[in-house]
Amino acid sequence: MKPSLMALGCAVLVAGCSPGSATAPENLAASTIAGPDDPFWKGAFAPVSETAESGPGDLTFAFAGFGRPGALQFSRGLVLQTRPLSQPGIAQAYGRDGPETWGDLLGLPETAQIEVRQVTASAAPSGAAPLCPGGAPTHVVIGVRPGLDHPGSIALALFAGEEPPGPKARASTACGVFDYAIPG
């Protein structure tokens, strides 16, 4: 079951954020989905879930794929500067207190690829409703659902808490899950 966001129905206005200088950890595997010049990460990803449509809006990636630092920019103004942390298996439990897996949370099949990213900076319009209780998300999980006869889709989960989400995290809370269509 996907978590809901209490304040997600509020509109978010436009803001900006300048990219940081974080570097990717060396232990991350290169993405099999896309390389640095792959058009996969280019263009606006349109919302296909109610939470994404009524919340942050369209998504644009300002980085060149998994394993690389960069920003997630939403059409209603939220900007999350991120750096990659890990690429756990889709069947791995995502929380300490339950058997639910990344695939369960994100609604993704076993063929999906995911990456956990730390939010290193964020910008939101003044007065915008937070997407996570208490403020901006601290971690983002990106899951890529390959399509058979279409480009596929992306699922994002936002988390709050000092620890990255995962089976050992004691204080990491899922704030919401958002689904987007891959351009093309």
| pLDDT, tens digit (0-9, with 9 covering 90-100), for 38-85 | 556 677 889 999 888 888 889 988 876 788 888 999 988 889 999 999
Number of domains composing the chain: 1
Q: Is residue 45 part of a domain?
A: yes
Q: Is residue 12 part of a domain?
A: no
pLDDT score, position 124: 87
Q: Is residue 21 part of a domain?
A: no
Q: Is residue 2 part of a domain?
A: no
State the DSSP H helix or E strand holding residue 157, giving kind and residue range, or none if neither. strand 152-160
**Which residues of the chain fall short of a pLDDT of 70?**
1-41, 64, 97-98, 148-151
Residue 78: give the domain boundaries: 39-181
Q: Is residue 145 part of a domain?
A: yes
Q: Is residue 116 part of a domain?
A: yes
pLDDT score, position 111: 84
pLDDT score, position 135: 80
Q: Give the whole-angstrom CA distance, residue 65 versus residue 84.
A: 10
pLDDT score, position 31: 43
Q: Is residue 15 part of a domain?
A: no
pTM recorded for the entire structure: 0.76
Q: Give the whole-angstrom CA distance, residue 169 versus residue 176.
A: 17
Decide the pairing of beta strands 173-181 and 139-146: unpaired
Q: Is residue 115 part of a domain?
A: yes
